[in-house]
């Protein structure tokens, strides 16, 4: 009967809810352990100047080297870490490790570039965030201009009035600020002017079809123009094809990041790339 099948559906729903809750709880336990056992690693993806082909920056992206499940991507554990508050210690680890690594490159005479770190809403809103950034810069002895913080548009626009003083304090410290996934978060243009932002990162969702979709092409062209007017650097995320690269160059987009240039790399492989440069991007190639 309908009633019975409804009951079965509910039962199924309840069971899968429980299964999910149990799974989340076990992930939470192993996340805590992962911190103690230092199972997190950073991978590094270069940011490229689209005219010269040189590496002008790098984004640090967290991975979890899970003892049984292998290398896990942020989508598999960052949301859970945000829900249970563990993103705070994990985020501190990411910041410290990224700053420490750039200082190692500087000390070893490599042409070091600024490192960008992704900051989640929970971290940005936490009262000790500014203090933590200042302390980590001091501990790692890194010049603040070598650190860039990537904040998504939705994080900044949620309570935009509260975001302004935090951004201003970070700016005063000398760190660089970027809006990540730009174009997806409905920024009000008046706030965009009030945020002391250095860089707009165009979301890969808009970049994907720029060569074939007129609307996406218009959106990307508009963001590039807006960045120029507001004196902000503009970087296109998710560049995968030569057609996308040609479009971005024609529109005078300064920088790009994506699989066309390099996937995120282990620390050793990224250091090699800093020395050798990106294949096919030298000269006018």
Site residues, ligand C2E (CB under 6 A): 45, 61-62, 73-75, 78, 91, 94, 118, 120, 150, 180-181, 204, 237-240, 257-259, 264
The binder of 78, among Mg ion, ligand C2E, none, by C-beta within 5 to 8 A per type, is ligand C2E
Q: Is 180 in the site for Mg ion (CB under 5 A)?
A: yes
Which candidate, 48, 55, 56, 46, places its Cα nearest to that of 248?
48
Give the C-alpha distances (Å, rounded to integers) separating 231 from 54, 157, 176.
21, 20, 14
Q: Which residues between 81 and 120 bind Mg ion (CB under 5 A)?
A: 118
240 binds, among Mg ion, ligand C2E, none (CB under 5 to 8 A by kind): ligand C2E
Which CB atom, from 6 or from 280, has the smaller least distance to ligand C2E? Answer: 280
Dihedral class, residue 236 (left if φ above 0, else alpha if ψ from -120 to 50, else beta): beta
Least Å from the CB of residue 278 to ligand C2E: 13
Q: Considering beta carbons, is residue 73 or 173 the nearer one to ligand C2E?
A: 73
Decide: is 216 part of the binding site for Mg ion (CB under 5 A): no
Looking up tokens 């200082």 gives 103
Separation between Cα atoms, residue 178 and residue 199, nearest integer Å: 4
To the nearest whole angstrom, how small is the minimum distance from the Cβ of residue 44 to ligand C2E?
A: 10
Is 236 exposed, middle or buried (CB count within 10 Å of its CB: 0-12, 13-18, 19+)? buried
**How far is 63 from 26, CA to CA, in rounded Å?**
18
Q: Which residues bind Mg ion (CB under 5 A)?
A: 118, 150, 180-181, 237
């Amino acid at each position: 009967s309908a009633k019975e099948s409804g009951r079965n559906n509910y039962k199924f729903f309840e069971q899968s809810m429980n299964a999910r809750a149990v799974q989340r709880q076990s992930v939470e336990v192993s996340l805590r352990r992962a911190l103690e056992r230092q199972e997190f690693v950073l991978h590094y993806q270069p940011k490229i100047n689209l005219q010269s082909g040189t590496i002008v920056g790098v984004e640090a992206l967290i991975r979890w080297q899970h003892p049984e499940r292998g290398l896990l991507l942020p989508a598999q554990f960052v949301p859970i870490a945000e829900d249970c508050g563990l993103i705070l210690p994990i985020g501190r680890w990411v910041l410290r490790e990224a700053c420490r690594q750039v200082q190692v490159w500087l000390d070893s005479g490599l042409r070091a570039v600024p490192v960008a770190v992704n900051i989640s809403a929970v971290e940005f809103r936490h009262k000790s965030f500014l203090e933590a950034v200042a302390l980590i810069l001091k501990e790692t002895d890194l010049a603040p201009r070598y650190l860039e913080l990537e904040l998504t548009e939705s994080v900044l626009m949620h309570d935009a009035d509260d975001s302004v003083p935090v951004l201003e304090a970070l700016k005063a410290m000398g760190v660089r600020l970027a809006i990540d996934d730009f174009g997806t978060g409905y920024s009000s243009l008046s706030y965009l002017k009030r945020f002391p932002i250095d860089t707009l990162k165009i979301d890969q969702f808009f970049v994907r079809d720029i060569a074939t979709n007129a609307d996406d092409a218009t959106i990307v062209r508009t963001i590039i123009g807006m960045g120029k007017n507001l004196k902000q650097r503009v970087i296109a995320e998710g560049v995968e094809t030569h057609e996308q690269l040609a479009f971005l160059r024609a529109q005078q987009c300064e920088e790009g990041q994506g699989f066309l240039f390099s996937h995120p790399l282990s620390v050793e492989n990224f250091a090699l790339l800093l020395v050798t440069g990106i294949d096919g991007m030298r000269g006018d190639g």
